[in-house]
Amino acid sequence: MSSGTYTSQLSKWLLTSPPIEWALKNARELLIGTLRQGPIPQHVAFEMDGNRRFAQNHHIEAIEGHNLGFEALARVLEICYKCGVKVVTVYAFSIENFNRPKSEVGGLMKMAKIKLEQLCQHGALLDRYGACIRVLGERDLIPADVLPFVDRAVEMTKHNKNAVLNICFPYTSRAEMTAAVKATVEEFSAPPNPPQTPFSEARITQAIKSNQLKHSDSQPSREGSPDLNGKSDVDDSVSTDTTLNPDSPHHETQDSTHKPAEFKDKETITAETLSSHMYTGDCPPLDIFVRTSGVMRLSDFMLWQCHEDTHIFFLKCFWPEFDLWHFVPVLLEWQWRQKQMGREGRLGRRVKTE
Ligand SMILES: CC(C)=CCC/C(C)=C/CC/C(C)=C/COP(=O)(O)OP(=O)(O)O
């Protein structure tokens, strides 16, 4: 055995020995407790890069690197939620990743099914910290056999209100921004309350319901039918006497009160309007963005969410290596900058553009 291998075996043995493990666990808790004394970021995003290079360096399969990447994610989530971070957003699969070898894409999808199931079990991490899962991205691109796992994970955790885990899968910022622009255009092209004409969809529905009510009046009440003695499920604001006859008095009233549809004023569209249509619409502004593996690019992730005060950190370690010891300097630097911004009176400006 070479001296290098001997030293690494010895340090492994030492680190996993019960007293050292106990001391390290306590040191971690102490560190997290200390960090909690300062300001805590509300929203942190991780670009989990370097799984394959880590695998290559350790002579293991690429999918093993991704599996270790998931373990790193579980560690980091625990740290974030313990510290009090409300929203964690992770880049789990880019739309571009579909161009990878079929076997790797298949392996990642299989892993997603297993991990999504693990993550939302009772007593598991998200349950312990009261965090819900949201899957952000192009739902249409999720393979049919993976979709039920995604929906189950979201459904099983939706009652959790303390924190959020946004899993971007399959995602790119450009697709997100395109969808947000489309949704905004739709919102501003449609009248908020379409005027009711005798031939409008709402009036026709009401007329049909009204007819059904008249018929069911003469029949014994059945399960599921409207409560004829009390409230019916017909909107009170529209009379059940309404008919489709254009000569009816209601028609005259509609005509005399008919106003042109009111469209929303496009001049009122702001950055906040677009933000509200992003997948992260109801999340706090992004405080910290971390990318591992030494690559200094955003790679189509959180392009809209990175605002003037988002602190972007590019770390050298590969994602499977990422742990509290890499995250502490990030948090400390963010806390220090927050204090500086507070002194300069710049806190609270965030993403507002007016
Ligand atoms: C619940 C759930 C779905 C969890 C996801 C787990 C996870 C860690 C996914 C990351 C996948 C990925 C494409 C990482 C990028 O590394 P890379 O393959 O680009 O590595 P490289 O830069 O070394 O090539």
Beta strands in the chain (DSSP E): 43-47, 87-91, 131-136, 163-168, 288-291, 311-314
Q: What is the C-alpha radius of gyration for the chain, rounded to an integer number of angstroms? A: 28
Domains of the chain: 40-171+285-343 (3.40.1180.10)
The shares of helix, strand and coil residues in the chain, as percent rounded to the nearest 5, are 50, 10, 40
51 lines ligand 1 (CB under 6 A): yes
Does the CB atom of residue 112 touch ligand 1 within 6 A? yes
pLDDT of residue 77: 98
Residue whose Cα lies nearest atom 3 of ligand 1: it is 112
Q: How far is the CA of 132 from the centre of ligand 1 (A)?
A: 21
Does ligand 1 lie within 6 Å of residue 113's CB atom? no
Q: What secondary structure does DSSP assign to 198-236, as a single string? A: TTSHHHHHHHHHHHHHHHHHTS---TTS--SSS--SS-T
Q: Nearest-CA neighbor of 47 among 279, 293, 281, 351?
A: 293
pTM for this predicted structure: 0.79
Q: Check 49, 160, 166, 287 and give the catalytic one.
A: 49
Q: Does ipTM top 0.90?
A: yes
d(CA 262, CA 191): 5
The single residue of 57, 67, 97, 211 carrying the catalytic annotation is 97
Ligand 1 pocket: which of 48, 95, 166 to mutate (most atoms <8 Å of CB)?
48
Q: Which of 46, 51, 104, 156 to mutate to test the pocket of ligand 1 (most atoms within 8 A of CB)?
A: 51
Q: Going by CA atoms, what residue is nearest to atom 5 of ligand 1?
A: 92
On the 0-12 / 13-18 / 19+ scale of CB atoms within 10 A, 326 is: middle
Q: How far is the CA of 300 from the centre of ligand 1 (A)?
A: 15
- Is residue 309 flagged as an active site residue? no
Give pLDDT, residue 18. Answer: 84
**pLDDT, position 125:** 94
C-beta 137 within 6 A of ligand 1:
no
Alpha carbon of 165 to ligand 1 centroid (Å): 16
Residue 49 annotated among the catalytic residues of the structure: yes
Mean pLDDT in order along the chain per 10 residues (354 residues): 67 79 91 96 98 98 97 97 98 98 96 96 93 98 98 97 98 98 94 62 53 43 32 34 34 50 88 97 98 98 97 98 97 96 77 36
Residue from 46, 47, 49 whose mutation best tests the ligand 1 pocket (most atoms within 8 A of CB): 49
Spatial CA neighbour of 167 closest among 135, 127, 143, 139:
135
Q: Is the CB of 176 under 6 A from ligand 1?
A: no
What separation in Å is there between the alpha carbon of 62 and the centre of ligand 1?
10
Using the Cα atoms of residue 91, residue 94, residue 100 and residue 104 in order, give the sign of their dihedral. positive
Q: Distance between CA atoms of 306 and 280, rounded to whole angstroms? A: 12
